[in-house]
A and B are shown apart, each in its own frame.
Chain A
Amino acid sequence: MVIQVDEPVRVKPNQTGRAAAILRLNGNEALYNELLEMFFKDDAVECLHGYLASGDVKSALLTAHGMKGSAANLGLETLSDLAGNVERSLRDNDVAAAQEAFSKLQREFDTISFFQE
């Protein structure tokens, strides 16, 4: 990922989320790091973007829901909540609200993947 010089200052993601997630994995930090890598390698955000753009609500809903769960599993609480917002808006058939929630989600995703790298 290319970082622009005029990017706003990034806030480091919630460390308690990480610690709690590792604890839930029986303290297996190596496994946690492996899972995190899997998570960021996945193209779910791009897919979600595409589904929202093309109006494929059903697929967007599944992807947002999936991201909510896997982010929660990794202790990425903010991201999980934002994915939850997208999911909820889609369930209400409010695509505009889903788009808006998605841009927040994308920002959060970029932020934590920046610290991930």
Chain B
Amino acid sequence: MERILIADDIAVNRKILEEILQDTYCCIMAENGKQAIERALEYAGSLSLILLDIMMPEYDGYEVLRILKRNMLTKDIPVVLITSLDSERDESRGLSEGAIDYITKPFNAQIVKCRVNNHVELKRHQDMLQELIDKRTRKIVEIRESLLDAVSSIIEYRSLESSKHVKRIKLYCEAHLNRLLKKNLFSEQLDRKNAELIARASTLHDIGKVGVPDSILMKPGPLASEEFELMKKHAVMGGDFINSIRDSADDDYVYYAYQICRHHHEWWNGGGYPDKLSGEDIPLSARIVALADVYDALVSKRVYKPAYSHETAVAFIRAGKGTQFDPLLVDTFEGEVSELFRSIAMLHNDCPQ
């Protein structure tokens, strides 16, 4: 049975409305404005409609309406005003402040019932449509994300790097981000939701390598300086690629993907590329990926180098504290997080035993 809230200070009026509506609805009652707000908040998720008297003690109907319409939890609950026949001004004012309709005293049982039914039905349709839109939107977002994931796996095949590298980067970032959340670090830019987005976007960090020639990507041994210049371009190209599919400013996932692609080779001391950003100017997302990417490059075998031990990798990162890496991130990395990195590298090894 759907719930409705009846707010009227006069007992006779409440009784009439309850009698009219109780066969169809579960009626919650409020005797004044303050109670109306309390009940509305208490039942916010399950209220289909509010019948609201205007002249009431402890907040009148207008005040209640304004408070309900300003609150995220209650703003979408339709409000039908209860007015007197002779108060046209009340009706127009109430409607302009967000009420959906009004009923007049004396109540006519059939009219009251029909109006309430209509609005509850409308609300139901509205909720259904909203749900459908949310579902479709989620689907679209999912499709775009899986497309981007597919793009990021292309580079793994192209470069002959491990197809598991991308997966490990995501896991490292997750482990590191969880630790930061737990210790309440960077809390002004980090919450559970964007930590998850950053971890997902980390898989795209190297997509710009699609634009780097095979001869460079697969070259065994160190790169000549002009080759290295070409290699460095992958950060810019990756950022540009992400920018080309960035269609709305508030899409956090694509926003983080851009930061990560462009800036995951910046150094804390400004010695990195492509923009020579330093310190806090480097986006946090890119700083986290930078550390994970270097760790993975060190412990993995690459065409140009053998795999180093976990201890060597940790020592390398420790040595880069404050020069290559964000010192605070190095601090959280040492200890628990680095151990997690070790197990991730072992579990998702390129050549499983």
Contacts and interface: CB of A to CB of B under 8 A. Distances in A.
A38 B84 contact: no
Interface string A23-36: 01110100100110
B106 interface: yes
B10 A66 contact: yes
B15 A24 contact: no
Interface in B171-226: none
Contacts of A19: none
Interface in B63-91: 84-86
Size category of the binding interface on chain B: 20 to 34
Contact of A68 (B20, B56, B84): B84
A70 B12 contact: yes
B142 interface: no
A42 B55 CA distance: 18
B16 interface: yes
Contact of A73 (B9, B13, B110): B13
B19 interface: yes
B10 A24 contact: no
Interface in A39-96: 39, 42, 59, 61-62, 65-66, 68-70, 72-75, 84
A97 to B, nearest CB: 18
B9 A62 contact: yes
A83 to B, nearest CB: 10
B55 A62 contact: yes
B11 interface: yes
A69 B15 contact: no
Given A62-B55, A84-B86, A39 B12 contact: yes
A62 B84 contact: no
Task: List the 10 closest A-B pairs by CB distance, nearest first.
Answer: A70-B12, A69-B105, A72-B106, A66-B10, A73-B106, A26-B109, A65-B55, A24-B108, A70-B10, A72-B105
21 contacts: A21-B106, A24-B108, A25-B19, A25-B20, A26-B110, A28-B19, A28-B109, A31-B16, A31-B19, A35-B15, A35-B16, A38-B12, A39-B12, A42-B11, A59-B57, A62-B57, A68-B84, A69-B106, A73-B13, A74-B106, A84-B86
Interface of A: 21, 24-26, 28, 31, 34-35, 38-39, 42, 59, 61-62, 65-66, 68-70, 72-75, 84
